Each structure stands twice: as C-alpha cells, then as structure tokens.
Amino acid sequence: MKYSGWPDPGELVVGRIDEIEDFGVFADLQEYEDKRGLCHISEVASGWIKNVRDHVSEGQTVVAKVLEVDEDSQQIDLSIKDVNDHQRKEKIQEWKNEQKADNWMELAFGEDIEDETYTAIANEFLAEFGSMYDGFEQAAIHGQEALEDTDLSEEEVERIVETARENVSVPYVTVTGYVDLSVPTAEGVDVIKEALEAAEGNGASPASADGASGTSGDSSAGIPEEVELEVTYVGSPEYRIRVRAPDYKTAESHLEESADRASAVVANHGGTGEYHRERNTDQE
C-alpha cells in the first residue's frame, strides 16, 4: 500500500535513488504514490563532499528525514545525513513489515481487492494499531477479540484472523486458559495433584481413550524446549494454564493439550474437567 497524501516534516521515509546530479539526488518515495524528494548535496553526508556518487548510487534504497514539504511547488526536501544507524535499521524493518502486511491483505481478500475496500480496511488498522503489520500481528495473537473495536465486518475479521494465524510469525506469544477440575471422592486432593502434574507435562500420563489408566512416564515429551507452560491455582475448582511459545498456533495447541491431560486424569477417577478461555469471575 502506498499513501496518497504527503509526508510530514520530521518524518522518516524510505526512498529509492533514481537520479543523481552534481547538486544532489532525487529519490522516489516508496511509501507514497507519485511522490519524489530531493536531497541536496549538503544533506547527503556530513562534511565536505567532492563527488556525491562516492556516497550514494542509483537504485540504492535510503532512509531520509523530511525537512520541508511544499505542496504548491510539488517539492519535498530530504536529508539523508540526519538519520542515524538505529533509525535507519528501524525504519527499513518497519517498511519491510508493511510490505508483508500488504501481501497478507492480498492473501486475505484476493489480488483483485478494490482500492476502496483496501483503503477502508487499512485505515481501520492504522487507527486501531498504528500500522497494518501490527494489526495482523495482534489478530494472530488474540484472534477476533483483537479486532472487536474496529468497524470491520464479520467476514473481513474472519479472513484477517485466518490469514494472520497462517502467516504471521510472532517472536513469542503468551496465551492463557483455564480448567475447572473436580473430583467428588475422598482421594480428590491426590487426584487433582496428579492432574496438575499431567497438565504441566510431568508425572503420570493421562487416561487412554478406552478409560484405562495411563502408564507412568514423562508426558512432557511433546513439549519442546522453546515452549514454557505454567499451571497455577486460581480458586477452587479453577486453575490457570499459561503458555509462552514462538507462535500462536503452537501456544494454543499446547494450551489445549495441557487442559486435556488434566481433564483426562480426573475423568479416570470419576471427576470432571472443563476447559475455558475466560476466567469464571463468579467463583471469586
């Protein structure tokens, strides 16, 4: 997506140098439609410059600071030297992220998505999250809940969430769920303890499908090192399961498997286990 408006003074922009003159360089602004900026030779690099081509080349992608915008004369003045290494790296990453988000939009709504529809959805993302990439990332982590405060239609939300969860790789996400465990027998305390150990991937394996007790062993074999799983007591009969994993699908999978392990143990002893995502505040 390219913006149809104008950049603001002080804004960092990504440009591709398409013309070099003795007095400076021209750059095509990659984030704006039909916008081109001029970086005077004095703003290309610090110190005296004998030959501007010693510092930049045609086709090079640069990050520049917008110094001044004159819409009447269609002129945008830029400075390359006013951007430090940290700002440059951060801006390039941000730009690459938005290119990914642009691709995800096409995956979600098709390459023939109408400009009007694209703009409307993009504006919702920008208003709620600050960028399209952040919008998709939040959709991957929190699902439809992340988009509740937007004006997107139910179908649009479903497509965005589906695409986000299939394509967005989040460095680490944390998901939380709850399981209610109840055992109406004298040995209930011991059974609950066994169920919690199973939920954490320790101790006895959960009951098998035919109802027989699972054999003793380490059920953590299915939990990779990069996944952190913690079970804590909330209030009888509720227990919280928190999973931290590299991506949403992995976290969600281990969350549900943990609850299933605990529920299987109590069910094998005549108890009940019920998994849910929201805390039961009426139990407080």
Evaluate if pTM is beyond 0.85.
no
How many whole angstroms separate alpha carbon 192 and alpha carbon 95?
A: 50
DSSP-assigned letter for residue 208: P
- Fold exhibited by the domain 173-283: Alpha-Beta Plaits (3.30.70)
* Residue ranges of domains in the chain: 12-83, 86-167, 173-283
> 12-83: which CATH architecture?
Beta Barrel (2.40)
| 3 burial via Cβ count (<10 Å: 0-12, 13-18, 19+) | middle
8 A C-beta contact, residue 129 and residue 160 = no
The dotted CATH code for 86-167 is 1.10.150
Q: How would you write the pLDDT of the chain (284 residues) with one tens digit per residue? A: 677 789 999 999 999 999 999 999 999 999 999 999 999 999 999 999 989 999 999 999 999 999 999 999 999 999 999 999 999 999 999 999 999 999 999 999 999 999 899 999 999 999 999 999 999 998 988 889 899 999 999 999 999 999 999 998 877 888 999 999 999 888 889 999 999 999 998 754 444 333 333 333 334 446 777 789 999 988 889 999 999 987 888 889 999 999 999 999 999 999 999 998 877 655 44
Residues 181, 186, 187, CA angle at the centre, nearest 5°?
A: 65
Number of neighbouring beta carbons within 10 Å of residue 122: 19
Residues 52, 57, 62, CA angle at the centre, nearest 5°?
A: 100
User: Do the domains 86-167 and 12-83 match in fold?
Assistant: no
